[in-house]
Amino acid sequence: MSGILRQTINLGRLYRPTYQISTRGRPLSLRPASIPRPTFAYQRVRRYATQPEEPRDKDEAKDKTPGQSAPGMEHLYNKGGPLTNEKAGASESDSLRPGFAKLTPEEEKELVEVFNQIKKGMPASMAEEVEKSFQKIRKDGIPQELRDTMDEVKQGHMTPAVAARLWRQVSSMARKTAESDINEAKGAQQKSGAHDPGAGSKSKSNNKGEDKDGPAYNIKDIKLDMNSIILSAFTSYLIYRLVVPSENSREITWQELRNTFLDKGLVERLVVVNNNKVRVHVHQQSVQAMYPESPAAHGNFYYYFSIGSVEAFERRLDEAQAELGIPSSERIPVQYSREVSWADTILSFGPTLLFIGAIFWLSRRAASGAGGGGAGGGIFGMGKSRAKKFNHETDVKVKFADVAGMDEAKVEIMEFVNFLKQPERFQKLGAKIPRGAILSGPPGTGKTLLAKATAGESGVPFFSVSGSEFVEMFVGVGASRVRDLFQNARKSTPCIIFIDEIDAIGKSRSKQNFGGGNDEREATLNQILTEMDGFASTEQVIVLAGTNRADVLDQALMRPGRFDRHISIDKPTMDGRKQIFAVHLKNIVTKEDIEYLKGRLAALTPGFSGADIANCVNEAALIAARGNADTVMMIHFEQAIERVIGGLEKKSLVLSPEEKRTVAYHEAGHAICGWYFKYADPLLKVSIIPRGQGALGYAQYLPSGDTYLMSYLQLLDRMAMTLAGRVSEEIHFETVTSGASDDFNKVTRMATAMVTKWGMSPKVGYLYFEDDPNQLQKPFSEETARNIDTEVKRIVDEAYKQCRDLLEEKKKEIGIVAEELLRKEVLTRDDLVRLLGQRPFEDKGDFSKYFGGRGDREGPGAGIPGLPEKPDGPVLPPGSSNPAPVVFKDLNQ
Ligand SMILES: Nc1ncnc2c1ncn2[C@@H]1O[C@H](COP(=O)(O)OP(=O)(O)OP(=O)(O)O)[C@@H](O)[C@H]1O
């Protein structure tokens, strides 16, 4: 603004008679020197510093006729030169719109350049539009207020507020231009309508923008008008040019400055910028009078020259002024300024700003995701639920018929299906349907399958998500995903949500806080609780959740109104396994008698989960395919089962003859005990081929059925049988090996359970002690501890004695079996019958049915549920601590 003021004052001064100027003082604000000066001295000021020098003689005046270029600067604005203004005719400036200012020649030139640039490769129609816009700017100029702001920017006052003003003015200009175009078009139309009555009637409807034939205008047209967009772009470009002023200045040399401006008194002041550049501010009116075509005659232009050092520049300037005879009081003012360009500042702060901006943006996005939920919330959609939606028509094809062997669970869950199918049946009696059910059970028992089948039967969409998918490192994301999931579910009611592994988030809050809380998990759990509470009782959203650890779940989840039902799904029974085999055998090509096959396989696979069975069947098919068999045969199934139980055969592991011998006698000891103890499980197979992890030998026993109770005698027989490997080593070798450690582990656990849980020790009594590893203090006294230790030892010793007695007695038989084992590596039940004769006890039930009915009956309740075929305690090589698969694991639970 101050620049503009100064200009007007200068303008006024230029036309004042010289005497006025010489007698009247100048405004104080402009010239700080208030020292009284003689008129002479004042006039000298005019001549050298603020006014063009008057021609000393007429000849000189002739040389300086207006319209001439500054000497030495002709190349800049000669005819056709870059700064000439030949195109801007006087007639065009006459047609300026009120409030508009014309473009300067160099602005116009830049426009031409930009236009030529963007026209390249542009479709003809669009180029035409651009051309039109260009002509419009040339003709109309730009609004004066915009020009003022641009001048302000030029003076170096570019603040965010000025930038915002600029932008507003540019857009307003674009809008006004578009509006004027529209008005012109309307006017033209109305004019033509005046001659044509038909068209006139149409023009009425035009006002409402409803004319179907002619162009209709409304506010949308203005917003999207091509001209306005291009106009905006052009003007923005001009502003850019102003902000980056390289094009609005020209470098000159000291000589040029002297000859062209300094000597002629055209220099108003000099500004030393950043100690390396001097900006020359000239008396614009004087320059305009002397060199009308010079770009310096316009407000937006200045010359500059570079300097090596400020001192050298000052010296030179002093010398020059001294030469010109300028008195020291009237010398050209020199200012010193330090300028940092707007763009440079932004660039230097750029990385920091970018970083701060990125963090701000990310946190905003995360917060919006966490807080707002809804679709697409969160950082990269983080707050969005990852639940997979299955469409009941296309994706969920599972029906209850595909879920075998869990009849009770099916009955329980059937109620949900009925509710989803016929809600009114329940509602009319005022019944509230359970909100959800927790399906708990060991891995692979078909919890997900059952949930899917529920959706398949009810014919509703099914949202499946795992509990761990709610857990993320960002706080609030879990809760947000829960919200999103339930929101989506509500949109597709009736539907079923299935949250697998809910223990990942639903752990008891008091338990998980032990040793440090987890607020994120707690917030997620709270959100689930809230969402489940939030259902209206008529809302048909059923939430099913699966877990292997129902015991760790928060009680709040289990209360009525949330997961009202608790459906426990155990590993399948013999009958269940048969049914599951039947389901999976449907897809297998086999010529075996399916009825017999599924029975035998079920008998062979006690303790298998549904997933194990599915895997076994698939494995059998793979083995058959590997052997190029046409159909899958019994042998393939047996190999598959063995592989699933014992692991892969380790053919690469070569044992020394001594080690092999030890393993053979160890396994023979187990086999003999299994054969001659009444309550031992019937032996199916014994092998000394290393398998799986660290197991050097392997004996497979087969419980005749699913057993739920174990007698003292049964347990004792089993323990004796487990110790048989070590006892056999003791009897047949000089020394013993480390291979029986896993056997001892099992025996100890079994004996401890007998004493502390099953009330089988008269000395300890009928007490139950929880063996919680997190318990810091034992729940019994020192004396009881001592008693437990003594009793455990007594029971193990008893089992040992029983085993030793038998093996001493059957030393010869052990030798026979061991030598045969060394020869054949694998012995089946038939081999044992051949070597030892019929087992002295009768086999019963499924065993006799599916394994030839040979042998004798086995002891009552020989099997333990879930622990059927037992890879016997392995014989480990010395130094190895890797135990064989745990056999009696369930006894401790
Ligand atoms: N009762 C069953 N009838 C038929 N197939 C079954 C049954 N149970 C399990 N399966 C088979 O096992 C596979 C895995 O079962 P599913 O995923 O339902 O187990 P899960 O209990 O959810 O396991 P996890 O607890 O590990 O999530 C099923 O796809 C199916 O092939």
pLDDT of residue 692: 67
| 649 Cα–ligand 1 center, Å | 27
Kindly state if the Cβ of 503 falls inside 6 Å of ligand 1.
no
> Chain-wide mean pLDDT for the chain?
71
Least confident of 119-133, 587-601, 743-757: 119-133
Question: Side-chain half-sphere of 435: how many Cα atoms within 13 Å?
Answer: 19
Q: Mark whether 409 and 334 lie in a shared domain.
A: no
Residues 6+ away with beta carbon under 8 Å from 754: 712, 715, 760, 761, 795
Residues 6+ apart with CB under 8 A from 56: none
Residue 736: phi, psi to the nearest 5? -110, 170
pLDDT of residue 613: 92
pLDDT in tens, 819-877: 999 998 888 888 888 888 888 877 666 666 666 543 333 332 233 233 333 333 333 33
**Does the C-beta of 405 come closer than 6 Å to ligand 1?**
yes
Whether residues 256 and 230 fall in one domain: no
- Any domain includes 199: no
Residue 443 lies in a domain: yes
Q: Is the Cβ atom of 158 under 6 angstroms away from ligand 1?
A: no
- Return the minimum-mean-pLDDT range out of 163-177, 200-214, 536-550: 200-214
CB of 260 sitting under 6 A from ligand 1: no
* Sign of the C-alpha dihedral computed for residues 312, 318, 320 and 322 taken in this order: negative
Whether ligand 1 lies within 6 angstroms of the CB of 612 is answered as no
Residue nearest to atom 11 of ligand 1 (CA): 611
- Predicted confidence band of residue 494 (pLDDT cuts 50, 70, 90): confident
Ligand 1 contact via 580 beta carbon (within 6 Å):
yes
Centre of ligand 1 from the C-alpha of residue 842, in Å: 36
Indicate whether residue 576 lines ligand 1 (CB < 6 A): no
Residues 439, 537: one domain? Answer: yes
611 lines ligand 1 (CB under 6 A): yes
Sheet arrangement for strand 563-568: 388-390, 462-466, 495-500, 541-547, 436-440, 563-568
Å from CA of 591 to ligand 1 middle: 26
Measured in whole angstroms, how far is the alpha carbon of residue 859 from the centre of its chain? 59
Residue 403 alpha carbon, nearest atom of ligand 1: 3
Closest Cα to atom 13, ligand 1: which residue? 611
Tens of pLDDT, residue by residue over 279-298, are 888 887 888 888 777 777 76
Tell me the CA–centroid distance for residue 421 and ligand 1, in Å.
Answer: 25
Tell me the three state secondary structure of residue 70. coil
Asked if residue 45 has its Cβ within 6 Å of ligand 1, the reply is: no
Name the domain boundary from 621, 646, 671.
646
173: Cβ contacts below 8 Å, ≥ 6 apart: 142, 143, 146, 231, 232, 235
More confident residue, 352 or 462: 462
pLDDT at res. 66 = 44
Atom of ligand 1 nearest to the CA of 500: 27
Dihedral sign, Cα of residue 587, residue 591, residue 594, residue 599: negative
Distance in angstroms (rounded) separating the CA atoms of residues 842 and 853: 9
pLDDT (average), residues 763-788: 84
| Phi then psi dihedrals of residue 64, to 5 deg | -100, 35
Looking at residues 100-123, what average pLDDT do you find?
Answer: 68
Instruction: State what percent of residues in the chain have pLDDT above 70.
Output: 62
Q: How far is the CA of 612 from the centre of ligand 1 (A)?
A: 9
Q: Is the dihedral of CA 794, 795, 796, 799 positive or negative?
A: positive
pLDDT of residue 806: 94
Kindly state the DSSP code that residue 570 receives in the 8-state scheme: P
pLDDT given at position 580: 92
Ligand 1 lined by 620 (C-beta under 6 Å): no
Please tell me the distance from the alpha carbon of residue 296 to that of residue 261, in angstroms, as a whole number.
Answer: 11
**CA 383 to CA 474: how far, in whole Å?**
10
* DSSP letter, residue 282: E
475 closest CA partner among 370, 364, 381? 370
Ligand 1 centroid to Cα of residue 448, in Å, is 6
Calculate how far, in angstroms, residue 444's C-alpha sits from the geometric centre of ligand 1: 4
**381 and 258, same structural domain?**
no
Q: Could you give the residue ranges of the DSSP H alpha helices within 330-444?
A: 342-367, 407-421, 423-427
Nearest-angstrom CA–CA distance, 477 and 277? 56
Tell me the CATH number at 6: 3.40.1690.20
For the chain, give me the number of helices (H) and strands (E)? Answer: 36, 16
Cβ of 445 closer than 6 Å to ligand 1, yes or no, is yes
What integer pLDDT is reported at residue 48 of this predicted model?
A: 33
Residue 732's CB is within 10 A of a number of other CB atoms, namely 19
Ligand 1 site-directed mutation target among 398, 449, 503, 578, most atoms within 8 Å of CB: 449
* Residues of the domain holding 826: 657-892
Span from the CA of 614 to the centroid of ligand 1 (angstroms): 8
Q: What pLDDT score does 244 carry?
A: 53
- In this prediction, residue 536 carries a pLDDT of 63
Average pLDDT over residues 111-135: 66
pLDDT, tens digit, 9 for 90 and up, residues 406-427: 888 888 888 888 888 888 888 7
> Nearest-CA neighbor of 64 among 364, 349, 286?
286
Question: What is the pLDDT confidence band of residue 436, given thresholds at 50, 70 and 90?
Answer: confident
Q: State which ligand 1 atom lies nearest to the alpha carbon of 583.
A: 4
- Looking at the fold, whether 863 and 738 belong to one and the same domain comes out as yes
With a 6 Å cutoff on the Cβ, whether 403 touches ligand 1 is yes
Q: Is the CB of 448 under 6 A from ligand 1?
A: yes
Mean pLDDT of 488-495: 82
Same domain, 724 and 792: yes
- Whole-number Å distance, alpha carbon 277 to ligand 1 midpoint, is 81
| Residue 351 exposed, middle or buried by CB count within 10 Å (0-12, 13-18, 19+) | exposed
CA-nearest residue, atom 23 of ligand 1: 444
Q: How many domains does the chain have?
A: 5
Lowest-confidence pick of 311-315, 643-647, 650-654? 650-654
Closest among 801, 802, 810 to 665, alpha carbons compared: 810
Which residues is 463 bridged to in the sheet?
389, 497
Q: Report which ligand 1 atom has the smallest distance to the Cα of 572.
A: 1
DSSP-assigned letter for residue 888: S
CATH number at residue 617: 1.10.8.60
Q: Which residue among 397, 439, 448 has the greatest number of ligand 1 atoms within 8 angstroms of its CB, and so is best to mutate?
A: 448
Q: Which of 457, 531, 638, 667 is catalytic?
A: 667
Query: Residue 124's pLDDT band (boundaries 50, 70, 90)?
Result: low
Q: Is the domain of 16 the same as that of 50? A: yes
The answer to whether the CB of 231 is under 6 A from ligand 1 is no
Q: Which of 222-236, 374-388, 422-436, 663-677 has the highest mean predicted lDDT (pLDDT)? A: 663-677
- Residue 453's φ and ψ, nearest 5 degrees, are -65, -35
Would the CA dihedral through 30, 33, 36, 40 be positive or negative? negative
Question: What DSSP element (H or E) covers 475?
Answer: none
Cis, bond preceding 494 (omega within 30 deg of 0): yes
Range among 157-166, 198-207, 345-354, 667-676 with highest mean pLDDT value:
667-676
Q: Computed over its alpha carbons, how large is the radius of gyration of the chain?
A: 50
pLDDT tens column, 354-403: 777 777 666 666 555 444 444 444 444 555 666 666 665 566 678 888 88
The answer, yes or no, to whether residue 727 has pLDDT greater than 90, is yes
709 alpha carbon to ligand 1 midpoint, in Å? 27
Give 433 Cα–ligand 1 centroid separation in angstroms. Answer: 26
Q: Is 583 in the pocket of ligand 1 (CB under 6 A)?
A: yes
Please report the pLDDT score of residue 60 as a whole number: 42
Ligand 1 atom nearest to 579, measured from its CA: 3
Distance, CA 562 to ligand 1 centroid (Å)? 24
Residue type, 241: R
Please tell me the least confidently modeled range out of 91-105, 194-208, 441-455. 194-208
Q: Which atom of ligand 1 is nearest to the CA of 547?
A: 25
- At 8, the pLDDT band (50, 70, 90 cuts) reads very low
Strands (E), 231-286: 249-251, 267-273, 277-282
Please report, in angstroms and rounded to a whole number, the separation of the first and last CA atoms in the chain: 89
Find all residues with CB under 8 Å of 566, minimum gap 6, and list them. Answer: 437, 438, 440, 550, 558
Q: How confident is the model at residue 32 (pLDDT cuts 50, 70, 90)?
A: very low
What DSSP designation does 553 have? Answer: B
Amino acid sitting at position 515: G
Q: How confident is the model at residue 203 (pLDDT cuts 50, 70, 90)?
A: very low
Single out the residue of 329, 312, 321 nearest to residue 263, CA to CA: 321
At 525-550, the pLDDT tens digits run: 888 888 887 666 567 788 888 998 88
For residue 744, what pLDDT is reported? Answer: 93
- Are 589 and 564 in the same domain? no
pLDDT of amino acid 281: 85
Neighbours of 498 (CB within 10 A): 27
Task: Return d(Cα 522, Cα 526) in angstroms, integer.
Answer: 6
Atom of ligand 1 nearest to the CA of 548: 25
Say whether 286 sits in a helix, a strand or coil: helix
Rounded CA-CA distance 654/643 in Å is: 19
* Pair of tokens at residue 125: 């129609």
Please report, for the domain that includes residue 837, its CATH number: 1.20.58.760
Q: Give me the percent of the chain exceeding a pLDDT of 90.
A: 11
Return the half-sphere exposure (C-beta side, CA atoms, 13 A cut-off) of residue 273: 14
Would you say residue 475 has pLDDT above 50? yes
What is the predicted pLDDT for the residue at 99?
Answer: 73
Do 785 and 778 form a contact (C-beta atoms < 8 A)?
yes
The SS3 of residue 6 is helix
Q: Is the minimum distance from the CB of 406 to ligand 1 under 6 angstroms? A: yes
Measured at the CA of 382, the angle between CA 381 and CA 386, to 5 degrees, comes to 90
Per the model's pLDDT, the better-predicted residue between 845 and 150 turns out to be 150
| Residue 705, pLDDT above cutoff 90 | no
> Does residue 504's CB lie within 6 angstroms of at least one atom of ligand 1?
no
* 346 belongs to a structural domain: no
Shared domain check, 765 and 679: yes
Tokens standing for residue 282:
């000239």
Q: Is residue 352 part of a domain?
A: no
Tokens of 593: 């008698």
Are residues 685 and 638 part of one domain?
Answer: no
CA distances from 241 to 110, 114, 867 (A): 9, 11, 84
**Pocket mutation for ligand 1, best pick of 388, 445, 609 (most atoms within 8 Å of C-beta):** 445
Query: Does a structural domain hold residue 802?
Result: yes
Q: Whose CA is nearest to atom 26 of ligand 1?
A: 443
Q: Does residue 690 surpass a pLDDT of 60? A: yes
Q: Among this protein's residues, is 667 annotated catalytic?
A: yes
Tokens of 305: 């020259």
| Ligand 1 atom showing the smallest separation from residue 451 Cα | 18
- What ipTM is given for this predicted complex? 0.97
User: Are residue 422 and residue 556 in the same domain, yes or no?
Assistant: yes
User: Is residue 443 in contact with ligand 1, taking CB distance under 6 Å?
Assistant: yes
H-only helix segments in 368-434: 407-421, 423-427
268 versus 855: the higher-pLDDT residue is 268
377 contact partners, CB below 8 Å, separation of at least 6: 368, 369, 370, 383, 384, 480, 484
Nearest CA to ligand 1 atom 15: 446
What kind and span of H or E run contains 826? strand 826-828
Closest by CA to 799, choosing from 671, 667, 662, 673, is: 673
Euclidean distance between CA atoms 826 and 687, whole angstroms: 4
Evaluate: CB of 452 within 6 angstroms of ligand 1.
no
Residue 508 lies in a domain: yes
Between 645 and 736, the more confident residue is 736
Note whether 272 and 238 are same-domain residues: no
Measured from the Cα of 405, ligand 1's closest atom is 1
CB-based contacts of 126, cutoff 8 Å, min separation 6: 226
> Of 227, 245, 263, which residue constitutes the final position of a domain?
245
Ligand 1 atom closest to Cα of residue 442: 25
**Bigger pLDDT: 555 or 150?**
555
Reported as a single tens digit per residue, the pLDDT across 706-724 is: 567 888 998 999 899 999 9
Q: Are 285 and 10 in contact (CB under 8 A)?
A: yes
Range in 433-442, 518-527, 670-679, 696-705 the model is least confident about: 696-705
Interatomic CA distance for residues 45 and 330, integer angstroms: 6
Determine the distance separating the centroid of ligand 1 and the alpha carbon of 435, expressed in angstroms.
23
Q: Is 494 in the pocket of ligand 1 (CB under 6 A)?
A: no
- Give a yes or no: residue 447 inside a domain: yes
Least confident of 27-41, 131-145, 312-326, 789-803: 27-41
Q: Residue holding tokens 């917030």?
A: 523
* 202 domain-assigned: no
Q: What gap in Å lies between CA 422 and CA 836, rounded to an integer?
A: 65
Strands 563-568 and 698-701, by their bridges, are: unpaired
859 in contact with ligand 1, CB cutoff 6 A: no
Which is nearest to 891 in space by CA: 862, 867, 859, 873?
867
pLDDT score recorded for residue 875: 35
- Among protein residues, the one with the nearest Cα to ligand 1's atom 16 is 446
Angle value at C-alpha 375, between 373 and 380, nearest 5 degrees: 85
Measured in Å, residue 593 CA sits from the centre of ligand 1 at 25
DSSP for 623-660 reads: HHHHTT-SS--HHHHHHHHHHHHH--B-TT----HHHH
DSSP H or E segment with residue 701: strand 698-701
> Helices 712-732 and 811-824 meet at what angle, rounded to 10?
70
Which of 207, 230, 245 is the C-terminal boundary of a domain? 245
pLDDT at 803: 95
Better-predicted residue by pLDDT, 228 or 672:
672
